[in-house]
Amino acid sequence: MMPATASGARPYTSTRTGEKDVFIHPSSALFREAPTMVVFQETVETSLSYMKGITAIEPKWLAKLVPSMCLFGKPLENPPPR
């Protein structure tokens, strides 16, 4: 399971691997929804990297269900740019 998040509608960034520009395939039921956070099982490389086995989630679910994938601490006042 790999979580991914989007700051806008698209593209997504894999929060586990840091891989940028992963996309929801246009044939997916989630394509028009553009959820804020998703989990996916793998990527399929074509002209773009598409997420496969994708499910929309609420961000707070990760902290409760998979705490090993989360960093807990005081938020940074001045986080470095990505």
Q: How buried is residue 35: exposed, middle or buried, by Cβ count under 10 Å (0-12/13-18/19+)? A: middle
Q: Hey, what are 56's tokens?
A: 């929309």
pLDDT tens readout for residues 3-43: 676 655 568 877 666 667 888 888 888 888 878 888 888 88
Q: How far apart are CA 45 and CA 53, in angstroms?
A: 14
9 or 73: which carries more pLDDT confidence? 73
Q: What is the pLDDT of residue 75?
A: 73
Task: Give the Cα separation of 57 and 44 in Å (integer).
Answer: 21
User: What's the CA gap between 17 and 26, in Å, rounded?
Assistant: 23
Each domain of the chain, given as residue ranges in start order, spans: 2-64
Model-level pTM? 0.67
